[in-house]
Amino acid sequence: MKIQNQTLVSRIMQCMLIALLLISFGCKPKVKEVKKLSDDERMEWWLDARFGMFIHWGAYSVPGGERNGKICGGGAEWAMDKLDYTIEDYEKEVTAKFNPTEFDADSWVAMAKDAGMKYIVLTTKHHDGFCLWDSKITDYDIMEASPFKRDIVKELSEACKKGGIKFCIYHSIVDWHHPQAQAPLYPNYNAGQKDQTVVNPEFPKYYENYLKPMVKELLTNYGDIGVVWFDGDWIADYTTEMGKDLYKTIREIQPNTIVNNRVDKGRTGMDGMDQDGEFAGDFGTPEQEIPATGIDTDWEACMTMNGSWGYKPSDKHWKSNKVLIQHLVDIVSKGGNFLLNVGPDSKGLFPPESVERLKAIGEWTKVNGEAIYGAKASPVNRPEWGRYTRKEGVVYAHVFDWPEDGQIKIDGKLKVKKASLLTDAGKELEIKQSGESSIVVVGPKVAPDTIATVIKLELAQ
């Protein structure tokens, strides 16, 4: 024992000597220097990307929105609340059974990329409080509370990096599992803080000792995080001071990360945009809706493919390929991003209905991506046949309703010198004057693409 102590002392002395030598020779330990971008530079990749994948995945995929023959209303990720689990029931019946042995991060990334998506936002923790990464802050995580014992955040973040796609995280402010987030009701919980009169004096402790350290942990251990996407901002216990502090903390660790507006308390409702005032956050978050017109600030519409964020096999209300592709175009024509959701099952597989839709969207974006990525809002009013998007010197006409005579009327404000089809490998189309100020582009009688045919209009300078 004595010998061991002596060895320890001499080791400490050696280390101190090396440290002193390094300091005296002016050597500093190597820390990765990150260039702090301006706000415009920071938002650039995200604005160019236009299309991302939301992944709502957690232990709630085990019941899939169904318990003892009862099906929960709304999103299946709310099963804990909607299907009346106690915290204990949920731990035993749901979390302890989450063992997604088929999970393959590379195949998820490949499906997102093939669909034309440029970033992935994964739910690291949803309202049920279960954490998908190896956290030192809680045992209620994938390593301790479920049999899977693989760090999902690590695997997906690495697969994204390898695949050249941005990895982003969703994180819930609401936590139905944590005692301090739920006091004074614990072990019952006030899901979604439906009763806003229940004041929780413990919440600031949950914020300081749990929520904030977790966000720091995620930003420190998983490489570059493209976006931090908060949710649960509506609960009364969460304050604008906490939001501003969280935003600052994130930018101190990763100065170039983008943060959604749900980090603060400015959001007005499902339209996702902030009321007037000084609120933290870099973009608005319309949910399950698309603004009627363009908005002169950055925003991203998030949407489900059926009616649920989490896996819910009973929900058969799948949006068609046509609806989803036209939503993408509509959103970009109004200057927004589209975050389209997938809710993988409890084995770690995407539902076949989602896979089909991703493939169809991918076929369209492969041909027409030029009119989406890096494109901006339409410079003119919406035409009756579809939408416009624009780039420097070019406007793209996305024709949803192809006219029977194949003649597409173009807004008179656009001075077009050349028109060609993206859909048909750049085939040039005739331009005809129509009246004093308008032109028509003459296309084939049959729509080259029944969902959205894109005509590239090159403008005279």
326, 400 contact by CB (below 8 A): yes
Task: For residue 16, give the 3-state DSSP assignment.
Answer: helix
Q: Which is nearer to ligand FHN, 238 or 309 (CB)?
A: 309
- What is the closest distance, in whole angstroms, from the C-beta atom of residue 363 to ligand FHN in the complex? 27
134 versus 271: smaller Cβ distance to ligand FHN = 271
Provide the residue type at 13 as one letter: M
The candidate with the shortest Cα–Cα distance to 195, out of 207, 204, 205, 182, is 182
Nearer to ligand FHN, 302 or 361 (CB): 302
**What residues numbered 307-366 form the site for ligand FHN, per CB under 6 A?**
309
Q: Least distance (Å) from ligand FHN to the CB of residue 73? A: 12
The pair of structure tokens assigned to 446 is 């049959």
Closest CA relative to residue 371, chosen from 347, 395, 354: 395
- Using an 8 Å Cβ cutoff, are 460 and 331 in contact? no
Stretch binding ligand FHN (CB under 6 A), from 43-51, 58-66, 71-79, 372-380: 71-79
Smallest gap from Cβ 355 to ligand FHN, in A, equals: 21
Scanning 73-81, 203-211, 235-243, 383-391 for contacts with ligand FHN by CB under 6 A, the matching segment is 73-81
Write the DSSP string, 98-163: ---TT--HHHHHHHHHHHT--EEEEEEE-TT--BSS--SS-SSBTTTTSS----HHHHHHHHHHHH
In whole angstroms, give the CA distance from residue 140 to residue 441.
60
Quote the CA–CA distance of 297 and 302 in Å, as a whole number.
16
Q: Is 75 a residue that touches ligand FHN (CB under 6 A)? A: yes
Matching residue, tokens 């969703």? 170
Nearest to 331 by CA among 304, 381, 293: 293
Q: Interacting stretch for ligand FHN, rule CB under 6 A, among 74-82, 152-160, 361-369, 418-426? A: 74-82
- Find the binder of ligand FHN among 287, 298, 345, 449 (CB under 6 A): 287
Indicate which single residue of 117, 165, 302, 375 sits in contact with ligand FHN (rule: CB under 6 A).
302
Distance (Å, whole) CA 241 – CA 235: 14
Nearer to ligand FHN, 285 or 378 (CB): 285
Closest CA to 337 of 303, 305, 362: 303
Q: How distant, in Å, are the alpha carbons of 55, 59, 71, 349, 409 from that of 97?
A: 20, 8, 19, 16, 58
Give the end-to-end CA distance of the chain in Å, rounded to a whole number.
Answer: 84
| Closest separation in Å from C-beta 231 to ligand FHN | 5
Q: Is 231 among the residues that bind ligand FHN (CB under 6 A)?
A: yes
Name which of 141 and 231 has its Cβ closer to ligand FHN: 231
Task: Say if residue 236 is exposed, middle or buried (CB neighbours under 10 Å; 0-12, 13-18, 19+).
Answer: middle
Q: Residue 56 CB, nearest distance to ligand FHN (Å)?
A: 6
Selected range binding ligand FHN among 70-78, 153-161, 218-226, 425-433, rule: CB under 6 A? 70-78
Residue 283: CB minimum distance to ligand FHN, A: 13
The residue count for binding ligand FHN (CB under 6 A) is: 7
- Of 35-43, 72-80, 424-432, 446-454, the segment contacting ligand FHN by CB under 6 A is 72-80
Q: Is 274 in the site for ligand FHN (CB under 6 A)?
A: no
Residue of 77, 128, 141, 217 that binds ligand FHN (CB under 6 A)? 77
Positions touching ligand FHN (CB under 6 A) are 75, 77-78, 231, 287, 302, 309
